[in-house]
């Protein structure tokens, strides 16, 4: 049931006494962890906390990818699993902070560190993960690029070089043909 479809309910909610409304609001907020964290960030944190969250996540991405690449036998399956988890952390960061700029910087950083060239044979059981990883990287890049286009010119300028590095990485790999089909540019 959507609130906008029930105008009578909306009017009734507005008419609830403030004390009772506060109790209901607190009960509703307690049921959603992300909403609780978002409200905490919005009401009790400031720009310094955003910077701290950003740096913690940036370090987590860097350390996780370093651990991954140190493995003796790095596979596309392990890479895909790790990148998905890190992308989930970036999504959570965005849901809490609603800061598109830091979200894009983190996503671009993750894409720049993600290994994408695996030499797995077509007959290898890991080959399907290689294809899934390539698709995932391209979709993530396309999504980030679409958000990038909506940013203010000054913010775009700050991210341009990092994005170009990702495009260069993609077009020097097996992903070039698929990237071209998706309409990803070779350079900004």
Longest dimension (CA), the chain: 68
pLDDT at 3: 65
* pTM: predicted TM-score of the whole model, two decimal places: 0.85
Distant-in-sequence, close-in-space partners of 8: CB < 8 Å, separation ≥ 6: none
Domain identity same for 145 and 77: yes
Given pLDDT bands bounded at 50, 70 and 90, which one contains residue 116? confident
**Eight-class DSSP state of 123:** T
Domain identity same for 147 and 175: yes
Domain identity same for 100 and 38: no
- 32 falls within a domain: yes
Per-residue tokens: 86:
């890190």
> Tens digit of pLDDT for each residue in 143-160?
999 999 998 888 888 888
Domain identity same for 118 and 153: yes
Q: How many separate domains does the chain show?
A: 2
Residue-range definition of the domain harbouring residue 25: 16-45
Given pLDDT bands bounded at 50, 70 and 90, which one contains residue 180? confident
- 58 falls within a domain: yes
> Tens digit of pLDDT for each residue in 15-43?
888 898 888 888 888 888 988 898 888 88
- 122 falls within a domain: yes
Mean pLDDT of 61-86: 88
Domain identity same for 107 and 23: no
Mean pLDDT of 104-108: 94
How far, in Å, CA of 96 to CA of 1, rounded?
Answer: 25
Average pLDDT, the chain: 87
Question: What is the distance of C-alpha 35 from the center of its chain?
Answer: 17
How far, in Å, CA of 51 to CA of 102, rounded?
Answer: 9
pLDDT at residue 118 above 70?
Answer: yes
Domain identity same for 41 and 76: no
């Amino acid at each position: 049931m959507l609130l906008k479809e029930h105008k009578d309910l909306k009017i009734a909610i507005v008419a609830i006494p403030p004390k009772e409304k506060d109790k209901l609001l607190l009960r509703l907020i307690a049921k959603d962890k992300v909403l609780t964290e978002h409200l905490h960030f919005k009401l009790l944190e400031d720009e310094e906390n955003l910077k701290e969250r950003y740096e913690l996540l940036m370090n987590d991405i860097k350390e996780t990818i370093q651990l991954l690449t140190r493995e003796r036998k790095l596979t596309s399956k392990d890479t895909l699993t790790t990148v998905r988890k890190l992308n989930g952390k970036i999504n959570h960061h965005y849901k809490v902070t609603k800061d598109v700029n830091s979200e894009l910087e983190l996503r671009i950083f993750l894409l720049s560190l993600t290994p994408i060239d695996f030499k797995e044979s077509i007959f290898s059981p890991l080959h399907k993960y290689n294809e899934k990883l390539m698709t995932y990287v391209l979709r993530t890049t396309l999504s980030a690029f679409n958000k990038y286009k909506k940013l203010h010119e000054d913010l775009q300028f700050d991210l341009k070089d990092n994005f170009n590095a990702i495009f260069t990485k993609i077009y020097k790999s097996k992903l070039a043909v698929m990237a071209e089909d998706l309409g990803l540019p070779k350079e900004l």
